[in-house]
Chains A and B, each alone.
Chain A
Amino acid sequence: MATLREIRNRIGSIESTQQITKAMKMVSSAKLRKAQDRILALRPYAYELRNVIRHLVALIEDVSSLPLIRKRPVNKALIVVVTSDRGLCGAFNSNIIRTVIKRLNEYSQTDTSLYIIGRKGYEYFSRRDKHIEKYKPEVFQDICFDNAARIARDLVSLYLNGGYDRIEIVYNEFKSAIQQNVIHEQFLPFEPEEESEEGASESVSKVDFLYEPDKATLVNQLIPKNLNIQFWRILLESNAAEQGARMTAMESATDNAEELIHQLTIYYNRTRQAAITKELSEIVGGANALKES
């Protein structure tokens, strides 16, 4: 049985841990609000831009002149893994890693490399026997469009000149403060067929559109721009999701600490009461012994 002092020390240490988790929760909920505003503002723009391209690409008969759309036989694939730099965010990173591993197993015949964003993914995969094409830490320290565009350009040049025939991205999508979805998406070649849920009949009515300048020029301008924006969206999604995951994780850590403190306090009081009772019965016993003699 633990002594009273031991229990007291334990309660104290749990309390200070709880203070830390509480503070971390506050920090990430403040960061979450900011991240959430940014992603929610960007989303309509990003989706709309993607729809415009889908609409255009669907009308172009000869895709072979567009290297970013044309499909090639996949000999080498690249998976972009978007993880966080810091831990303590629940299953945020392990969900990503699990999806990537599953994908790697499916790709066992293809030569697959990884492009890792965020330290946590690197920590995991650097110890495994996997070819890492590039590793970008601390993208999330200061996310700005220029950084996202730089990485997107890098990916495009890897696709065009680096021998990769297919680039996929695995990231966490921000659903709500308490929910993240792991999304596995093809980045390149650009997939126009993936019709949005509502718009199956939409494409038919788009025949008699006016185009200014012509379709091919529009597409050529739009696609790189769209890739930058989509990648930026992915970074913002992941950032918001990370803050959300951390907030939830820290909240439940705080709650667990609370519960633990509660149980320990009860145990502490019981032990203390037991000691008092024991002492009393010893005194009473001693007094009785004196009386009898």
Chain B
Amino acid sequence: MAGLNIEILTPFGKIYTDEIKSCIIPGMLGQFQVLKDHASLLAAVDIGMITIEEKNGKKITLATSGGYCEVENNKIKLIVESAEKADKINIERAKDAKTRAEERLCSKQSGLDSDRAKVALARALNRLKIAGLKI
């Protein structure tokens, strides 16, 4: 373990694992970058964009729906609900989700449902944004 290693776990399996240069993570309290020899950290991850810089300098962008991130001994563990590479995002589905969430918000229900719709809308918008970046 010479360099910085990353492991991205989602309920649908291990999405990505490799040795990398750096990783930019959308934390709940703001975006942060993890480089080699970063201090040990446990952070909540928000809906947003993860940018990984691979060893050869290539950048990978992933859309995430939030979760947790643990950094220890040059190993990043991202435990997130989803992580999709920009070119693998299902745009149709994200659009559908967006319309559905908007409809639900417009119908003016309060409480839990509207909170969930807001989160769903944020997820959909995030996916669309990131998918749009890379086309």
Residues of A in contact with B (beta carbons under 8 Å apart): 40-42, 44-46, 48-49, 52, 55-56, 145, 205-206, 208-213, 217-218, 221-222, 229, 232
Beyond A45-B9, A45-B79, A229-B11, whether A212 also contacts B68 by CB under 8 A is no
Interface digits, B32-74 against A, CB 8 Å rule (1 contact, 0 not)? 0000000111111000000000000000000000001010100
* Contacts A56-B42, A210-B40; A48 near B28 (Cβ below 8 A): no
Within B1-54, the residues touching A (CB, 8 Å) are: 9-14, 27-29, 39-44
- Beta-carbon contact of A41 and B13 below 8 Å: yes
CB A272 to nearest CB in B, in angstroms, measures 59
Contact of B42 among A48, A205, A211 (CB under 8 A): A211
Chain A residues, CB < 8 A from B41 = 209-212
Q: Write out the residue numbers on chain A whose beta carbons fall within 8 Å of the beta carbon of B77.
A: 48
A to B CB contacts below 8 Å, 11 in the list = A42-B13, A44-B13, A45-B9, A45-B10, A46-B11, A52-B70, A209-B72, A211-B41, A212-B28, A212-B42, A212-B43
> Min CB distance, B31 to chain A, in Å?
11
In the complex the two chains form, is A222's CB within 8 Å of B9's CB? no
Decide: B79 and A49 in contact? CB cutoff 8 A: yes
Q: Which of B11, B27, B39, B42 contacts A45 (CB 8 A)?
A: B11
User: When the two chains form their complex, are residues A213 and B10 in contact, meaning their CB atoms are under 8 A apart?
Assistant: no
A218 touches B10 (CB 8 A): no
Residues of A within 8 A of B40 (CB): 206, 208-210
Which B residues touch A218, using CB under 8 A? Answer: 42, 44, 68
The size of the chain B interface, using a CB distance under 8 A, is 20
Look across to chain B and name the residue whose beta carbon is closest to the beta carbon of A46. Answer: B11
Chain B's closest residue to A233 (CB) is B11
Residues B10 and A212 in contact, CB atoms below 8 Å apart: no
Greatest chain A CB density within 10 A among B27, B29, B70 is at B70
How far is B14's CA from A46's CA once the two chains are assembled, in angstroms? 12
Instruction: Enumerate chain A residues within 8 angstroms of B68, measured Cβ to Cβ.
Output: 49, 52, 218, 222
Closest to A202 in B: B72
A40's nearest neighbour on chain B, judged by CB, is B13
B51 CB to nearest chain A CB (Å) = 18
- For B43, the chain A residues whose CB sits under 8 A away are 210-212
Contact at A44–B70, with CB atoms within 8 Å? no
B62 to chain A, nearest CB (A): 15
B96 to chain A, nearest CB (A): 16
A145 touches B44 (CB 8 A): no
Question: Considering the chains assembled together, what is the distance between the CA atoms of A287 and B39 in angstroms?
Answer: 107
State the CA gap A210–B12 with chains docked (Å).
Answer: 28
Residues of B within 8 A of A217 (CB): 44
* Contact between A212 and B11, CB atoms less than 8 A apart: no
Q: Which of B75-93 contact A (CB under 8 A)?
A: 77, 79
Q: In the complex the two chains form, is A41's CB within 8 Å of B11's CB?
A: yes
Q: Which residues of B contact A55 (CB under 8 A)?
A: 42
Are B29 and A212 in touch, CB under 8 angstroms? yes
The smallest C-beta distance from A224 to any residue of chain B, in angstroms, reads 12
Point out which of A46, A211, A212, A222 has the most chain B C-beta atoms below 10 A from its C-beta: A212
